Chain A
């Protein structure tokens, strides 16, 4: 499953249950791509893997709609109590150090790894 555009890529690898998000994701809620990415995330939750890794290490920018989308994903997956969530980020990308901790506030058991 993937959504690939000029500025960003969202790719789900089922073999290691990892969602790779790369590029600059400044979505507009009216766009079809926003719905497609949401559908991809919903399908990952519905497939109920034992753990999901959200790899954001190459995600350079994320607007507030994107933050909202990832936060909703975490809240929904939190309801499936048995799914572990790992978020991988990059310390060199300033927004990640500032904002990713908020995902942990939504789901305290979430493992946040900033390298």
Chain B
């Protein structure tokens, strides 16, 4: 009887379930930076799905986003004028909004049954803030997710924003993708994604997704 290694078993399952999807990995969408520029300042936070009940973890998303925003402000030049103060307040507000939305999305869409961590990195090089969130999603969710991404990257984001809102009243849903559209429309952020096979010790039904947000300041 042939005995498969865990990696072979995993690949067998992935290939069996979604062979075309697996063959396409790793796959990127949007202007994804494979090689990160030399960032001067960075901060990484990891969150375990079992660290606290969901309600508390949701509240922690906001606190963590505010913490990341406070950290980023310490990297900015000293305030000298009222204009500087306003500029700094805008950046802090933007980092808090974007980080919170990314953490909320990671929590909503992660495959939490496997207990894998969500990670957020914040990088800053003096002119660009880069956010990276890494989480795993269930294989069955990937195609729907990629189809949403395709729509986000190809449609007119302003029109799509209004369409999603109008639809959400009719269908009584909560406006899926609204946080990402707000980043694009109101914060002029650039979004991109990378899908790849999750690490060897993870379940065969998980795909690792990295969401990248680039914010020029």
Contact = CB atoms under 8 A, between A and B. Distances in A.
B40 interface: no
B131 interface: no
A67 B178 contact: yes
By secondary structure, the B interface counts as helix
Interface residues of A, number: 26
Interface string B158-175: 000110011011000011
Contact of A67 (B59, B104, B182): B182
A72 B171 CA distance: 11
A68 B100 contact: no
A7, A64, A65, A102: most-surrounded residue (chain B CB, <10 A): A64
A72 B166 CA distance: 8
Interface residues of B, number: 29
Contact of B186 (A65, A75, A92, A99): A99
Contacts of A68: 165, 168, 174-175, 178
A95 B97 contact: yes
A62 B173 CA distance: 18
Interface string B36-71: 000000000000000000110011011000000000
B179 interface: yes
B165 A71 contact: yes
Given A29-B174, A72-B169, A106 B186 contact: no
B32 to A, nearest CB: 22
A95 to B, nearest CB: 5
A106 B89 contact: no
Given A75-B169, A94-B94, A99-B182, A63 B174 contact: no
17 contacts: A24-B62, A26-B104, A31-B55, A61-B62, A61-B96, A61-B100, A63-B101, A64-B101, A65-B175, A67-B182, A68-B165, A68-B174, A68-B178, A71-B168, A71-B175, A95-B97, A98-B187
Interface of B: 54-55, 58-59, 61-62, 89-90, 93-94, 96-97, 100-101, 104, 161-162, 165-166, 168-169, 174-175, 178-179, 182, 185-187
